[in-house]
Chain A
Amino acid sequence: MPGVRVLVGTRKGAFVLTSDEGRRDWRVEGPHFGGWEMYHLKGSPADPDRIWASQSGGWFGQVVQRSDDGGRTWSPVGNDFAYAAVEGRDGAGTHQDYDGTAKPWSFTRVWHLEPSLTDPDTVYAGVEDAALFKSTDGGASWSELAGLRGHGSGPQWQPGAGGLCAHTVVLHPTDEQRIVTAISAAGVFRTDDGGGTWRPINKGLLSGEIPQQEAEVGHCVHNLAMHPSRPDTLFMQKHWDVMRSDDGGESWHEISGDLPSDFGFPIDVHAHEPDTVYVVPITSDYFHVPPDGKLRVYRSRTGGGEWEPLTNGLPQEHCYVNVLRDAMAVDRLDECGVYVGTTGGQVYTSPDGGDSWAPIVRDLPAVLSVEVQTLR
């Protein structure tokens, strides 16, 4: 029977929420890995029973878990994320720390797991300090795609407030050689040779928080989204500004339009309408709460520029939660569902593309990530 499986990562464990295609009645399972920070869980498009999970914590570091039965049982896989030596640098080299000093690259955690679109054994990990790793053996071992850090600008990258992290990985739907990743606070980078070499694709971004607003690197990009039918069109939620590229990231233009704030974290695209885009405006970097105490998802049906607030079923008073960069997702059922998780522990769903919303759960730990699998 068609349905959905929503994978929720929280500050204190992971939860699996399942429903049929009506998306009104939900079964809640969890917590899995109670007490651990679950930065991200994501299912393999090539094998929906295979799910990857990033489990981490301040005490005991990083564990990567894999389920082969749709999230019922889990097994730890490899967790050795060793930075590779970079040509021309001393070992793995250094990046800039907050105070401007050179700091050796060191691994902290996996922010994002992006499974291959075609091979269940292949998965990418975006990590802090910012680097991309790849496993082709089901997670047993990880190899760094060191050309990313090896870009000439690598030693100048600096962390944002959340750390120096590679948090977004976008795979091209047909060209396995092309990968786009986003790093806070370096910007967007693209490879066209499967991860060997990378170059920054930040032309058109303007960031008031850095001395040179249009610099090649140094931008705090929060999230990217792409519709598989239009892989050259990328949508971006930057620290400030919602942006769009129609040439694979070669150039960007602003589409913030009439949003009440163009600061925010997640961005996503409707499953069947490539010009329908969703964002969650947040007041500012200093506040990290919705404007006016109202949680509003904004939808553009015009590919940006013109936005409408979606409020039906979302709290419209006294609401001061945040929605983090990986905490919004869409399903691919005939009527596209949209999902949003908050730092207040609510997971809201809209089974009608954003027109109406209802909470699936209200009292989870702070939500770090929401992904959804469409089961047929």
Chain B
Amino acid sequence: MTRTGTATVRVGLPYHLRALAQVDGEVLLDVGRPTTRGLLDALERRHPVLRGTVRDPVTGVRRPFVRFFACQEDLSHAAPDDPLPDAVMRGDEPFLVIGAMAGG
């Protein structure tokens, strides 16, 4: 893994966000800081249309019905500056942005 410099990270987006960003499949991002905040910063730089759709644009707080999964773990409640799993930073596993189960 790369703890300094830049790593290429795989990000899986839900249907609506892929449609907004006009992408198919996973998004590959060059991520500087190996944290959720660093990853989302990179995602919003690449696709400005996603600003505000995953987290509040002012506070940075995750939207209530968005979840973050990786390596079969729920990272939604981790602090935004906690380190991401090594397997994500190596590109072995994707970081998944998920629309929470809602609607009954």
Contact = CB atoms under 8 A, between A and B. Distances in A.
Does A associate with B in a complex? Answer: yes
Interface of A: 35-36, 57-63, 76, 79-80, 82
Contact of A63 (B14, B49, B99): B49
A76 B49 contact: yes
20 contacts: A35-B15, A36-B16, A57-B16, A59-B14, A59-B16, A59-B65, A59-B66, A59-B99, A59-B100, A60-B20, A60-B54, A60-B63, A60-B66, A61-B53, A61-B63, A63-B52, A76-B49, A79-B51, A79-B57, A80-B58
B102 interface: yes
B58 A60 contact: no
B42 interface: no
B43 to A, nearest CB: 13
Main secondary structure of the interface of B (DSSP, over half): loop
A59 to B, nearest CB: 4
A60 B51 contact: no
Interface residues of B, number: 18
The interface residues of chain A, by DSSP majority, are classed as loop
Contacts of B20: 60, 63, 76
Contacts of B52: 61-63, 79-80
B79 to A, nearest CB: 22
A80 B53 contact: no
A76 B16 CA distance: 13
Contacts of A63: 20, 49, 52-53
B28 interface: no
B68 to A, nearest CB: 13
B63 A59 contact: yes
A76 B102 CA distance: 25
A208 B14 CA distance: 46
B70 interface: no
B16 A80 contact: no
Nearest to A33: B19
A35 B53 CA distance: 15
The 7 lowest CB-CB distance pairs between A and B, nearest first, are A60-B53, A59-B99, A59-B65, A76-B49, A79-B52, A80-B57, A58-B65
Contacts of A82: 57-58
B45 to A, nearest CB: 15
B27 to A, nearest CB: 15
Interface string B19-49: 0100000000000000000000000000001
Interface string B47-78: 00101111001100001011000000000000
Contact of B51 (A35, A57, A59, A80): A80
Contacts of A58: 65, 102
Contacts of A80: 51-52, 57-58
